[in-house]
Chain A
């Protein structure tokens, strides 16, 4: 098991991965400050 969430940073790639994995996308908008 991963120790941290392995976030992608590209929505298009996430949607493609979701199609392959048959999972939904969890899209988190965050403010790094």
Chain B
């Protein structure tokens, strides 16, 4: 990550704008044990109270790092019940990085956000249909499978 992804200009700008970044060496056994880190790189997104929002283990190139952590930022908004901001972040992932590995998760959470905002179950079924059509092999398509039964 330190050789390829973190020096990338787009990544620097993205991290600076969206996060407070902190880097901890694995020699810090107290934090390594607290977060149960068994392999690096291990990257967590936390809220200001330290609650985990998202976790990734392993290398991500810049073109996957950005959408992956856009989804994480969207989940941070979602957890804070800032559904419009969360929705905006998931929509941006699908607009800018539709072919990324994070896109299917963005479709799933976009459907959930739209449901939360409207209390209309239609977006959940739409999310399932989009996932089936565009990301049929994704775990998020399986997680959305119950929504196919919604009578909307």
A residues whose Cβ falls under 8 Å from a Cβ of B: 1-11, 13-19, 21, 23-32
Q: For residue A8, which residues in chain B have a CB less than 8 angstroms away from its CB? A: 20-23
Residue in chain A with minimal CB distance to B12? A5
A-side binding surface: helix, strand, loop or mixed? mixed
Is there an interface contact between A28 and B41, defined as CB atoms closer than 8 Å? yes
Interface 1/0s, chain B 1-44, versus A by CB < 8 A? 11000110001110110111111111000011001010011111
The number of residues on chain B lying at the interface, defined by a beta carbon within 8 Å of a beta carbon of chain A, is 38
Complex alpha-carbon distance, A29 and B41, angstroms: 6
Q: For residue A16, which residues in chain B have a CB less than 8 angstroms away from its CB? A: 48
Is there an interface contact between B43 and A27, defined as CB atoms closer than 8 Å? yes
Q: Which residue from B13, B25, B37 sits with its C-beta under 8 Å from A32?
A: B25
Q: Does B90 contact A (CB under 8 A)?
A: no
Identify 6 residue pairs between A and B in the complex whose beta-carbon atoms are under 8 Å apart, listed by A's number: A4-B6, A5-B21, A8-B20, A26-B44, A29-B31, A30-B26
CB distance from B37 to the nearest CB of A (A): 5
Q: Does B73 contact A (CB under 8 A)?
A: yes
Complex alpha-carbon distance, A8 and B36, angstroms: 21
Q: Which residue from A1, A10, A24, A31 sits with its C-beta under 8 Å from B19?
A: A24
The 5 A-B pairs at the shortest CB distance, nearest first, are namely A14-B22, A26-B19, A7-B23, A19-B48, A18-B48
Complex alpha-carbon distance, A2 and B7, angstroms: 11
